[in-house]
Amino acid sequence: MFKCVKGLIEAAQKYDPAAPSKLMIFLTYPGVTALRRHRIAHALFKRGFKNWARYIAYRTRKKTGIDIHPGAKIGNCVFIDHGMGLVIGETAVVGDHCVLYHGVTLGANTFDKVDRHPKLGNNVIVYAGAKIIGPVHIGDNSVIGANSVVLKDAPANSRLKGVPAHHYMT
């Protein structure tokens, strides 16, 4: 658990140029708080304590404005910057070293109980307000522009922007 918290704090220091001390990051960054609590909720969810897991997720959403379903799989050293309005669905997967900004949605496009949420590879950056909908896969080292709507898979090293999102060169 301490290794996970250390990774969250290091990610905040790496990706936020305004990051204060480690103690202040631990105490005041809503993304760090949400991810810390998600680790507990996810562990309970996997062990069958789904009501307790959902209660922790509910209390976390109330405190931070970040809604992460306890079934979602979140990698190591993920950084949620600001985070207000961020939503991560039940079957979503977020790889290691990803950065998610406020207003991002990793959502579903069906009510069926299937694998219906996005999968982000490692080192993916999703800028503010972007929506990734459905069981799409975003490859490693990809960047999704602010307010983009991604509905299709993207290979590694993609740069996506627009509604619906399309590839662009940097």
Tens of pLDDT, residues 19-52: 889 999 999 999 999 999 999 999 999 999 999 9
Domains of the chain, each with CATH number or no CATH: 2-167 (2.160.10.10)
Q: Per residue, what are the HEC states of 109-125?
A: CCCCCCCCCCEECCCCE
Residue 93 confidence (pLDDT): 98
Rounded percentage of the chain residues whose pLDDT exceeds 70: 97
DSSP-derived secondary structure letter, 157: T
Can you tell me whether residue 10 is helix, strand or coil? helix
Can you tell me whether residue 143 is helix, strand or coil? strand
pLDDT values of the chain reduced to their tens digit, one per residue, 170 residues = 556 788 889 999 899 888 889 999 999 999 999 999 999 999 999 999 999 999 999 999 999 999 999 999 999 999 999 989 999 999 999 999 999 999 999 999 988 888 999 999 999 999 999 999 999 999 999 999 999 999 999 999 999 999 999 888 65
